[in-house]
Amino acid sequence: MFQLKNKKAIVTGGGSGIGKAVCLIFCNAGADVFVADLNKDAAEKTVEEILSSGGKAQALPMNVTNQHEVITAFEQVGTVDILVNSAGVSHIGKVETTSEADFEKVFNVNVKGVYNCQFAAIPIMKQNGGGVILNLASIASSVGIPDRFAYSMSKGAVLAMTLSTAKDYIKDKIRCNCISPARVHTPFVDGFLAKNYPGQEAEMFEKLSQTQPIGRMAKPAEIAALILYLCSDEASFITGCDYPIDGGFIKLNN
């Protein structure tokens, strides 16, 4: 079950965190993985790890905010069976502490980036008789998170785009879903703690972990496992859905 043999998959943000975990699990499922990332070195490191385990992968350096660059990269791949939009940035701040530049940066990566990749992938998928798109939303799409104004805006847009795309292309056999993780232990978390709480990293890590009812953060591999299912043929009856994967945050945190 959950095999992706003979499938070509583009994973944005594949150089680290959740995106890297998706690339690795897709490789194990037999997919030909294209590791898309702004950081070429990070993308190539993921590729090296996949190749060393006998998988198939290529680096696909690109800036998701640049539509021409995205289209060119997708045309190089040719057939696109699966697109995972994992690339994203975060921001901490309320509306009055969010600068216009910060707002635009979050919008350009998290919203325009998803749009650009779908814009490039969908015509290819239509020509090929279908495909699967999986977008990374967030619990911030559904509940209020303190000091995450711009980030919440962007992830709410991802959820709305997912539903719209699923509706518009269902007759083209293109499925589109999204998932909404809570906190996930990625390099971003470690960098955030080191920058903002030097010397208190372990204490703050535990504090953040305990905000999840389950008592810990998610592992990137756990998020990737759900993505694998939703992109596999076993999920062929699922489209237009958002799946929380949040350690009970949305339903049990009241």
Nearest CA to 122 out of 70, 179, 160 is that of 70
C-alpha span between 36 and 20 (Å, rounded): 10
Nearest CA to 134 out of 144, 147, 125, 143 is that of 125
C-alpha span between 114 and 87 (Å, rounded): 8
Mean pLDDT of 77-101: 96
Looking at the predicted structure, is the pLDDT value of residue 248 above 90? yes
C-alpha span between 237 and 118 (Å, rounded): 20
The enclosing H or E element of 243 equals strand 242-245
C-alpha span between 130 and 232 (Å, rounded): 13
Contact indicator for 181, 245 with CB cutoff of 8 Å: yes
151 is an active site residue: yes
C-alpha span between 149 and 153 (Å, rounded): 6
Tell me the per-residue pLDDT of 7-45, one tens digit each, with 9 for 90 and over.
999 999 999 999 999 999 999 999 999 999 999 999 999
Give start-end residues of each CATH 3.40.50.720 domain in the chain: 8-182+219-247
Tell me the per-residue pLDDT of 149-198, one tens digit each, with 9 for 90 and over.
999 999 999 999 999 999 999 999 999 999 999 999 998 889 889 988 99
Tell me the per-residue pLDDT of 112-125, one tens digit each, with 9 for 90 and over.
999 999 999 999 99
User: What is residue 35's predicted lDDT score, i.e. its pLDDT?
Assistant: 98
The model's pTM is 0.95
Strand partners, 36: 12, 60
C-alpha span between 49 and 14 (Å, rounded): 12
C-alpha span between 113 and 163 (Å, rounded): 17
Three-state SS for 94?
A: coil
Where do we find the tokens 């990737």?
224
Tell me the per-residue pLDDT of 44-76, one tens digit each, with 9 for 90 and over.
999 999 999 999 999 999 999 999 999 999 999
C-alpha span between 180 and 116 (Å, rounded): 20
The enclosing H or E element of 131 equals strand 131-136
C-alpha span between 234 and 109 (Å, rounded): 31
Q: Active-site residue among 115, 151, 197, 229? A: 151
Q: What token pair was written down for 239?
A: 């489209």
Nearest CA to 126 out of 172, 168, 86 is that of 172
User: What is residue 82's predicted lDDT score, i.e. its pLDDT?
Assistant: 98
Contact indicator for 60, 10 with CB cutoff of 8 Å: yes
Q: What token pair was written down for 244?
A: 């929380």
Domain 8-182+219-247 matching CATH 3.40.50.720: the answer reads: yes
C-alpha span between 254 and 252 (Å, rounded): 6
